[in-house]
């Protein structure tokens, strides 16, 4: 367990380095996606959804993994939209038991959704 915690601390430090790099936002997010997918064994798809200017939808940003049809998600719809609306982390252990999720996404066993806030805003 100690090794796993140490590995996540190293990963967090690497993510911090990327954030501090002079790249543009999308390049930083793409690098972070690759880091997470490559270093967390159970992550086979990692991506960022960005809140659009109307504050009514999440729009697919940088990601790594299989392409998805979910490029625009209304805030409040599905588990991604709910996590954004509530500004809460969701961890879904068994996606097949969720009623508010697209069948296209049910092939994944686990989904972790982490809304990122800046100044308490999504």
Strand-pair partners of 7:
none
Q: What is the mean pLDDT of the chain?
A: 85
121 belongs to a structural domain? no
pLDDT at 111: 63
Tell me, what CATH number does 93's domain have? 3.30.450.40
26 belongs to a structural domain? yes
pLDDT at 42: 84
Closest by CA position to 91, among listed 58, 41, 56, 43: 43
Q: Give me the sign of the Cα torsion angle 29, 30, 31, 37.
A: positive
Residue 52 in 3-state DSSP?
coil
pLDDT per residue as tens digits for the range 19-45: 999 999 999 999 999 999 999 988 888
Report whether pLDDT(63) > 80: yes
Helices (H) and strands (E) in the chain, counts: 3, 5
Closest by CA position to 105, among listed 74, 79, 81: 79
The parent domain of residue 16 ranges over: 2-113
Report whether pLDDT(109) > 90: no
54 belongs to a structural domain? yes
Task: Assign 49 a pLDDT band (cuts: 50, 70, 90).
Answer: very high
């Amino acid at each position: 367990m100690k090794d796993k915690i140490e590995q996540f601390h190293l990963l967090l430090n690497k993510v911090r380095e990327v954030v501090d790099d002079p790249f543009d936002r999308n390049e930083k997010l793409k690098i972070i996606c690759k880091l997470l997918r490559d270093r967390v064994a159970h992550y086979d798809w990692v991506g960022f959804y960005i809140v659009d200017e109307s504050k009514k939808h999440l729009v697919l940003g940088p990601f790594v993994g299989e392409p998805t049809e979910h490029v625009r998600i209304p805030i409040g719809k599905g588990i991604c939209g709910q996590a954004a609306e509530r500004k809460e982390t969701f961890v879904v252990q068994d996606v097949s038991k969720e009623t508010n999720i697209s069948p296209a996404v049910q092939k994944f066993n686990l989904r972790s959704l982490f809304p990122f806030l800046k100044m308490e805003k999504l």
